[in-house]
Amino acid sequence: MKRRAPLRQAHPLPPAAAPAPSAAGPASELVMTAPRYPRATIILITAAAITVTAIGMSAIQWILAPVLLTLILTICAHPVRRGLEKRGVSHGIATGSVILVVFLLLAGFAFTFVIAFSQFVAMLPQYSTQLAQVGDALTQWLAGLGIDQTQIKQVTSSFTPGTIASFFSGLLGNVFSLTGALVIVLTMLILMSADAVYVPTILRQLGTRQPDLVLAMVSYTHDVRRYMVVTTVLGIVQGTLSAIALVILQVPAALLWGILVFLCSFIPNVGYFFALVPPAFFGLLVGGWSTMIEVIVIYGIINAVVQSVIQPRVVGNAVALSQTLTFFSVLFWAAIIGPIGAIVAVPLTLLGRTILIDAHPPAHWWRPAVGATAQTRELLKALDLTAKQDRKDKRTQKHDTAHPGTKTTS
């Protein structure tokens, strides 16, 4: 019979830290195994995997963008189905109702956008004189800076109705793809809505083996639904108020710029600037610098009130992402799947956090790093109060030292 070799201790503890023997017998030796791979290797492999995945997603963005958009829309429309089924409506009728409502909303929005864009293109020739004046003023200013005339002509050649119309036409085509994207959205909307009938049953089946994953996904759908619904309602409010203000200021294509405000309300941090530039420019054309400044001020007030005051209070902790990560997610998803990626950047980033962190309990310690949680905010508040009390105590001590025998009043 072979003798069993004793366990070897990879990193022996110092005598003071060695565990004391228990009453049942001598303590077993502590076995500490070294990591299988160096940390640098793990980081490099992870970075390489992310890069390859991102390149692959970008290669099929014309498919992936409408599919992901449809997924978010299906999640947002799911409560409608659930409400109908609770009232005794059959699964088929509930599914058809959801599909019909979402498709009518998308079709109505697309029709309104196309009409507004057509009116914008039709009215552009009316402002050819103003555009030429802006081009001449820009030419003189650039020439005063000593810039070459060839470069100046390349810049000022853009101030024509035809160039502006071509720019917006190309942007419209990239966002909607007008044919393929709408077909994919409609098809995936029908299929996802039909498959959503089985979602509660599937979650029950998965819950027996992966309860953390099911809990994280349920929480994700609730948070994304709350964020998207609130952002949609507030975006409609922003767009309506902006359009009314532009009509009062007599800025052309007010309806188009109101729709642009609505779309850009889904883009955190930078959406405001994208929505501001076109109406401010046309305000300059029709009313001069005073109208342009009025547009900037009105847009700034509306954006500050809605997105900085109202939205955080309503959404709450549904989107616990840091400002830096939120801005990076807009850039990342816009680079991967195009303009639609910027619109759904927050829901997609939350989905990644759900799969990688929320659904994996050992990774929960990463939560404060990706966004300020409620616990983090409470800790910061407690630390601020402590620091404030320390400063007060130091001032009191300093005063007592300088003026012995006197009492300080708080």
pLDDT per residue as tens digits for the range 344-371: 999 999 999 999 898 988 888 888 888 7
Read off the pLDDT of each residue in 128-146 and give the average, rounded to a whole number.
73
What is the mean pLDDT of the segment spanning 261-286? 89
Confidence class for position 217, pLDDT limits 50, 70, 90:
very high
Taking only the tens place, the pLDDT of each residue in 139-184 is 777 677 767 667 666 666 666 666 766 666 665 555 445 566 778 8
Q: How many domains does the chain have?
A: 1
Q: What is the dihedral of CA 149, 152, 157, 158, to 10 degrees?
A: 170
Task: Please name the residues in contact with 112: beta carbons below 8 A apart, sequence gap of 6 or more.
Answer: 255, 259
Residue 204 placed within a domain: yes
With 0-12 CB in 10 A as exposed, 13-18 as middle and 19+ as buried, what is 36? Answer: exposed
CA 273 and chain centroid, separation: 16
Q: With 70 as the cut, is the pLDDT of residue 32 above it? A: no
Specify which residues 25 forms β-bridges with. Answer: 22
pLDDT at 348: 93
121: containing domain: 60-209
**Per-residue model confidence (pLDDT) at position 22:** 47
pLDDT score at 98: 83
Q: Which residue has the tokens 């959205």?
A: 185
The Cα–Cα gap between 238 and 160 comes to: 30
Question: Looking at the domain assignment, is residue 357 inside a domain?
Answer: no
Band of the pLDDT at 26, cuts 50, 70, 90?
Answer: very low
Domain assignment present for residue 84? The answer is yes
Specify if 172 maps to a domain.
yes
Question: What pLDDT does 405 receive?
Answer: 63
> How many C-alpha atoms does 216 have within 13 Å on its Cβ side?
19
DSSP label at residue 2: P
Burial class (CB in 10 A: 0-12, 13-18, 19+), 138: middle
Looking at residue 307, the DSSP 8-state letter turns out to be I
Q: pLDDT class for 111, splitting at 50, 70, 90?
A: confident
175 domain-assigned: yes
Tokens of 318: 């549904």
What is the H or E stretch that residue 84 is in? helix 61-86
- Give the C-alpha separation, 53 to 46, whole Å: 11
Note the pLDDT tens digit of each residue in 43-65: 899 899 999 999 999 999 888 98
pLDDT of 85 over the 90 cut: no
Alpha carbon distance, N-terminus to C-terminus of the chain: 82
Is position 9 within any domain?
Answer: no
Q: Exposure of 276 by Cβ count < 10 A (0-12 exposed, 13-18 middle, 19+ buried)? A: buried
What pLDDT sits at residue 114?
A: 78
DSSP states of 275-286: HHHHHHHHHHHH
How high is the pLDDT of residue 243?
94
pLDDT of residue 307: 82
What are the CA-CA distances from residue 241 to residues 4, 93, 187 (Å)?
81, 37, 34
- The answer to whether position 74 is within a domain reads yes
Location of structure tokens 């009116």 = 119
Q: Which of 85-99, 217-231, 371-385 is most confident?
A: 217-231
364 and 357 Cβ atoms separated by less than 8 Å: yes
Residue 369 Cα to chain centre, angstroms: 17
Rounded to an integer, the average pLDDT of 227-232 is: 90
Q: What is the DSSP letter of 4?
A: P
- Cα separation, 275 vs 261, whole angstroms: 5
Within a domain: 326: no
